[in-house]
Copies of this chain bind each other. A is one copy, B any other.
Amino acid sequence: MGVVVTLDEGHSDPEASLTDLVRLVAAGMERVNATILSRTGSDVAMIPEVANHLIASGGKRLRPILTLACADLCGYGAENREADGAVKLAAAVEFMHTATLLHDDVVDESDMRRGRVAARIKWGNEASVLVGDFLLGQAFRMMVEVGSLRALDILSAAATVIAEGEVMQLTAAKNIETSEDEYLAVIRGKTAELFAAACEVGPVLAGRPDAEQTACRAYGMNLGIAFQLIDDVLDYGGTSAALGKNVGDDFREGKITLPIVLALRRGTDEERAFWRRTLEREDLEEGDLQQALAILRRHRALDDTIERARHYGDQARAALDPFPNGPMKIALLQVVDFCIARAH
């Protein structure tokens, strides 16, 4: 059974769509944040320094929020004797995400992350690699403490799928022949899998039947794909004419994202030559980013990427059909709007 919710995709403030969910999980997230803080602790001073540089720099903690929300949606609440389980798994999910960001910075040779100088610039590639490994280890320790082999199975499988997605991206990078399907396989791995796993462990902890696990997983997977597609659009400044900061990072790194795949498919020989020079050979000239944006607009590549994101967003919403209506479900439906409204 579907549920009718007033959607407001043309929201002027996308954060407003997150407000309800953030409020509903606030108590749990306070404990998640305390857990994150205590588990980055180490006698080796550099570890909390590097970890907290990234963790304290914000980010919305969307993934651990989803873990708490899906656990709650499935009836795993404060009355559970093992209510710590959701908190620890949520913190573990955030650590897996942070480890990925630290390792990504080394892989992408990024200078900035979340508006701050990247850890690898401040402490070196070494520290980013090793503190990422430390956080991954701590994530697994927390999962082991929770003691659910099924949750461990889901999250450890996610760890390998994420790495596979990232390696796939390496292989696809700078290859302008990348197809839409190949690109979707990359983002399913590198981004959507952790969203899916973060959601799936909720019903697992609550001991709910397979159908609810499948539903939460499908919600997270589709939400994650929509989230990444909008990120790709935002990297070219979204649909607004004004260019914000960090616009063009993917372009400068030669990353083939969906807007590029769509523009290439519809492009002229001259445009292909342009992408080949800029993305494959990374031979960049003054004005190339403006030229890239003009080509993307000419082929409606950003708008159509948002259209694809809407499609996955619809599937994410539909995945929650099996759950009865209620504040948590409505809040989870609104998160889909949040993810998509960011592009405007």
Listed in ascending order, the chain A residues whose CB lies under 8 Å from chain B are 42-47, 103, 106-107, 124-127, 129-131, 133-134, 136-138, 140-141, 143-144, 147, 149, 152-153, 156-164, 166-168, 170-171
Contact of A152 among B126, B140, B158, B167 (CB under 8 A): B140
Q: Are B167 and A46 in contact (CB under 8 A)?
A: yes
**If A125-B106, A140-B140, A144-B156 touch, does A46 touch B171 (CB 8 Å cutoff)?**
yes
Q: Are A160 and B144 CB-contacts (below 8 A) given A106-B125, A130-B166? A: no
Given A137-B159, A144-B152, A167-B134, check contact A103 B127 (CB 8 Å): no
Contacts of A166 in B (CB 8 A): 130, 133
List 27 A–B pairs whose Cβ atoms lie within 8 Å, in order of A's numbering.
A43-B164, A44-B167, A44-B168, A45-B171, A47-B164, A103-B129, A103-B133, A106-B106, A106-B125, A107-B126, A124-B170, A125-B125, A127-B167, A133-B159, A133-B162, A133-B163, A134-B160, A134-B163, A136-B136, A137-B158, A137-B161, A140-B159, A144-B149, A144-B152, A144-B153, A147-B149, A149-B149
A309 CB to closest chain B CB (Å) equals 25
B residues near A136, Cβ cutoff 8 Å = 133, 136, 159
Contacts of A130 in B (CB 8 A): 103, 107, 163, 166-167, 170
Docked-complex contact A170 and B107, CB < 8 angstroms: no
Nearest B residue to A155, CB-CB: B140
* Alpha-carbon gap, A136 to B136, bound state (A): 9
**A235 smallest CB distance to B (angstroms):** 19
**What is the CB-to-nearest-CB distance from A137 to chain B, in angstroms, rounded to a whole number?**
3
Kindly provide the distance from the CB of A330 to the nearest chain B CB, expressed in whole angstroms: 35
Taking A106-B125, A127-B170 as contacts, is the C-beta distance between A153 and B134 under 8 angstroms?
no
Which residues of B are found within 8 Å of A147, using beta-carbon distances? 149
CB-CB < 8 A to A168: which residues of B? 44
Cα separation A47 to B162 with both chains bound (whole Å): 13
CB-based contact B160/A137 at 8 Å: yes
Contact B163 A131 (CB under 8 A): yes
A129-B106 in contact (CB<8A): yes
Q: What is the chain B residue whose CB lies nearest that of A126?
A: B107
Residues in B neighbouring A162, C-beta threshold 8 A: 133, 137
Query: CB distance A129 to B127 under 8 Å?
Result: no
Complex Cα distance A147/B149, Å?
Answer: 7
Give the residues in chain B near A157, CB-CB below 8 Å. Answer: 137, 141
Return chain B residues, CB-CB under 8 Å to A149. Answer: 144, 147, 149
* Cα(A42)–Cα(B153), bound, Å: 18
Q: Give complex CA distance A137, B164 in Å.
A: 10
Greatest chain B CB density within 10 A among A164, A167, A170 is at A167
Chain B CB count within 10 A is highest, among A103, A129, A166, for A129
